[in-house]
Amino acid sequence: MIGQSRAFLDTVRLIEKIARHEVSVLIEGETGTGKELAARAIHYGSARRNRPFIPVNCGAIPDALVENEMFGHRKGAYTDAKREQIGVIAHAERGTLFLDEVDALTPKSQVTLLRFLEDQEYRPLGGCDARSADVRVIAASNVNLTKLTEQGAFRLDLLFRLKVMQITMPPLRERHGDVTLLSEHFLRTCLRRFGNGEKRLHPESSAWMEKYAWPGNIRELENLVYREYLLAEEDVIAVQPVGAALHQEAAGPIETGSKAASFKQAKTRAIAVFEKRYLTDVLSVARGNVTKAAKMVGKERRAFGRLLKKHDIDKTMY
């Protein structure tokens, strides 16, 4: 974990304290703020450091498979269960189970998790006997679970079980001075990974990057540095301010030959420019994951996919 800002150092000190206590932890924060990194820091700073750290993306598990994924199954438990399989809880025995995007669990799955947290006992599908587990649970969410409980979308009793200790990861815009440190770290990573020579950011680029709000936080910064490093032909990287291309295109000439474009034409063009820039930024934050990107912006995945196709955006480039 890299940083020197007060917000970052306060968070690190809290992580160090929490790591010493064997209780459940809830980590909240915007997307890209490093919630899994914080969970790993808690695990490796605890007495469980030599045991497994098992991450699970709750948003990627279909509701019908949650119990099977969590608890495993016995041979013959269902039609295709040709052999016994253990679940993630057994894999995490004496270690840490990290439940990312816990807010994505359906009401039924929330009940399943709550039952396990109450006494750390579970029963594999098709099994008769309950099994005990010794697992520390750390959950993460990029939405405020307290607000979700007020809306009836998340169980209050489950929130209490998860929120014995809580950490809120600070967004990058509140970590003054950390953008430069992180950028330098990512450039060193690029050198080791891609071997395109040592490069550094132009001072003017560093200046605007420190002032930029970074809606995608550290993940957005990492993607930007990687992209600029690979495309740069000089040792000094001059990064165009994020959004500058959008403003330049939108404010550019709207002439068509000797005749000015109509209001409708100009509006259509401005919307197209905005849509393409917005989609590429969101897809960059989601690292090319269309489902996650669609969820972030509140759109149905199929509709989001149609927009990508409309603007000829290749998700594999992110």
According to DSSP H, which parts of the chain are helical?
6-19, 35-44, 66-71, 88-91, 107-119, 145-150, 156-162, 178-194, 203-211, 217-231, 244-251, 263-285, 290-297, 301-310
| pLDDT of amino acid 247 | 43
Rounded percentage of the chain residues whose pLDDT exceeds 70: 92
Mean pLDDT of 135-161: 95
Mean pLDDT of 118-130: 87
Q: How many Cβ atoms sit within 10 Å of the Cβ of residue 4?
A: 12
pLDDT tens, position by position, 19-47 = 999 999 999 999 999 999 999 999 999 99
Q: Which CATH architecture does the domain made up of 176-317 adopt? A: Orthogonal Bundle (1.10)
> Comparing 10 with 76, which gets the higher pLDDT?
10
- Tell me how far apart the alpha carbons of residues 316 and 283 are, in angstroms, rounded to a whole number: 10
pLDDT tens, position by position, 213-261 = 998 899 999 999 998 999 888 999 998 887 544 444 444 444 444 445 5
294 to each of 27, 35, 131, 221, how far by Cα in Å?
23, 20, 38, 20
Evaluate if residue 283 carries a pLDDT over 70: yes
Residue with tokens 């490796």: 44
Backbone angles phi, psi at 131, to 5 degrees: -120, 145
For 6-170, CATH number? Answer: 3.40.50.300
Least confident of 119-123, 256-260, 305-309: 256-260
Backbone angles phi, psi at 265, to 5 degrees: -65, -45
Evaluate if residue 271 carries a pLDDT over 60: yes
Question: C-alpha angle with apex 280: 260 to 215, nearest 5 degrees?
Answer: 110
> Would you give the distance in Å from CA 206 to the centre of its chain?
24
pLDDT tens, position by position, 80-98 = 777 888 899 999 999 999 9
User: Tokens standing for 32?
Assistant: 């890209």
The answer to pTM > 0.85 is no
Mean pLDDT of 254-278: 66
Mean pLDDT of 181-192: 96
What average pLDDT does the chain have?
Answer: 87
- Tell me how far apart the alpha carbons of residues 80 and 132 are, in angstroms, rounded to a whole number: 26
Can you give the residue ranges of every domain in the chain? Answer: 6-170, 176-317
- Domains 6-170 and 176-317 are alike in CATH topology: no
